[in-house]
Structure 1
């Protein structure tokens, strides 16, 4: 039995089985620079189970490996193979580069911090660096996906009337993605507008969406929420909805023509194709949009809630999970935008036969974007 001179203890997380002295907060014992950088909101919570940091550290490590293999192969294959060096595929390479460097600059800092301390261990400058590199690579990847969507829209919807993307135009698009990303992240890095600070479990850094200063907090959060989330989401939805609309219109026209000709289908091998062209393209479009929304909406929700909503629902774990989900995007993008490309798979099969990829050779030459694999089915 404890006597009155002994400290009392309280279980802040019975499920975790972790016991702390009554009144302990997750910021207690942190270095002075971490305390100074951390918003008061995070200082009110009891210590989180250290197992969460270990778990996230392990996940980050595996995401890092998967990211570098997937995006590294994309960069290597497209740059090595002359037939794949098209203007459209330049956008694919830029997406892979952005994703590659996202994990290269994020994972080592976080993994070491997660396994050696309960807090961010790298100081104020590297906190800003971590937030800045995560921001520019993420936003550059987002707008690269928008330009890829535009390219597919241009080819599928506009067809012969569309403006053919040249290498010069692709280069300008790529340059724009990085300039645009820096327009949001560089002011915070330089601390002239917005800032970066520890968030969630306090072992990572991100945009300081909890800043109570209206200029650095509310206005900056609305600026980045609008420009880096709302605008690209609306553009992606427009491009891919128009693609689906155009493809379905084409299929409806084909069915009407077949009906006039008293045949079941205009396709000579209709019975051999289990899935029609419009369904394949609709699935690709839907996958692209839903994947983007599912990955980036949680983080947008956390940022907007922190700036304008009920902050009490933003517990350390709730705030930490969206950043992990965003990192997963860098591993999925190669699969969605590159590895599904038949020409890429053919080259990969040739260069790395032990991958056991069995991609049949195309009878027709295809030197367009990733989306062209399905575009040709509607031609």
Structure 2
């Protein structure tokens, strides 16, 4: 490695352990991730701003999620790409702190908003309660403020951001033995990963059970399967992106073991940073309203015949009413 890691998990020279071809390969992969994530999230934000049909609390929340993803894919990932092609962190300590803050902030925004969306869907489907525009805006502001506080904390002496074992990325000082490092690491692991994950899993499990318990019209079975698959994909994408990194971080916090294989470390970092890629293609390309509006606002998408391939049936809805239920309490999952 041509530069020195001013502080890492204890790995001093990553190029001695991981051949340069791995860095180049990850650099190429993340050029694709950057373009795809920016394009997908950018399309959603553009369509949301242009379409009056999508001006609902639900779409407002997912647009805020896309904005966080765009910050990661346009500001953070390019630095990661350049560092990988250089095979070491070339931007210095100050930019390591800035990069770590940005990536931590955008990651926390994504996780907290995913948890909030999961809870809102839970209340809509299970409790028959909906969220208004004002409440949606308050939720977004709260999630961004919550994430900003934890991401900015190291600037005020609560731990710090350092070069990670891969040598081309910066993050929290998981290996730190100081009480400030340990307390910060444990706090963000619990408050910014475990709690949101619990909220997501509980919400979607209850939604799934609600759907399975109720009597479903045969004509709506296709939509039921569509919702079930979408929920499954959302949970898998979230776990795939963040669990390896979180598990590795927790392992380092507990054991202080700095002998982690660099390939394992790189894979966990890559999966976490690829999280900005999945949301628009799972949440929005499977959504009927978005599929209707998107080709209108971005006509070039009409050239892609697969655009509507995964969209839910337009006129099908799930009857969640028992035979004796009042019509007032009956709700449709068409907007979930």
Change (3 A) 1:144 1:319: same
In the alignment, the residues of structure 2 paired with residue 374 and residue 78 of structure 1 have an alpha-carbon distance, to the nearest angstrom, of: 23
Which residues of 2 match residues 1-379 of structure 1 at below 5 A?
A: 29-30=2-3, 34-39=4-9, 41-43=10-12, 46-115=16-85, 117-159=86-128, 162=129, 164-188=130-154, 190-216=155-181, 218-251=182-215, 267=217, 270=218, 275-309=221-255, 311-351=257-297, 352=299, 353-356=302-305, 357-358=307-308, 362=314, 375-376=333-334
Q: Which deviates more from structure 2 when the two are superposed, residues 120-129 or residues 287-296?
A: 287-296
Instruction: Normalising by structure 2, report the TM-score.
Output: 0.87
SS of the residue aligned with 1:375?
A: coil
State the alpha-carbon separation in 1 of the partners of residues 316 and 19 from structure 2: 57
Residue 16 of structure 1: aligned partner: none
Q: Tell me how far 1:205 sits from its aligned partner.
A: 0.8
CA distance in 1, matches of 2:5, 2:234: 40
Instruction: Specify whether residues 35 and 101 from structure 1 end up closer, same or farther in structure 2 by C-alpha distance, changes over 3 A only.
Output: closer
Paired residue secondary structure (2:196): helix
Q: Is the 8 A contact 1:199 1:320 kept in 2?
A: no
Distance change (3 Å), C-alpha of 1:90 and 1:361: same
- Number of residue pairs the alignment of both structures matches: 316
Higher relative contact order by CA 8 Å / sep ≥ 6: 1 or 2? 2
Could you tell me how far 1:278 is from its partner in structure 2? 4.1
Q: Is contact 1:67–1:330 with CA below 8 Å preserved after alignment? A: yes
User: Greater CA radius of gyration, 1 or 2?
Assistant: 1
RMSD: 2.5
Unaligned stretches of 5+ residues in structure 1: 1-25, 255-266, 366-372
Distance 1:374 1:126 in 2: 49
Shift of residue 56 of structure 1? 1.0
Measured after TM superposition, the shift of residue 142 of structure 1 is 0.8
Q: 1:293 to 1:362 in 2, by over 3 A?
A: closer
TM-score by length of 1: 0.77
Deviations 1:225-259 (A, max 9, x none): 101111001111111111112111113xx5xxxxx
State the alpha-carbon separation in 2 of the partners of residues 244 and 299 from structure 1.
27
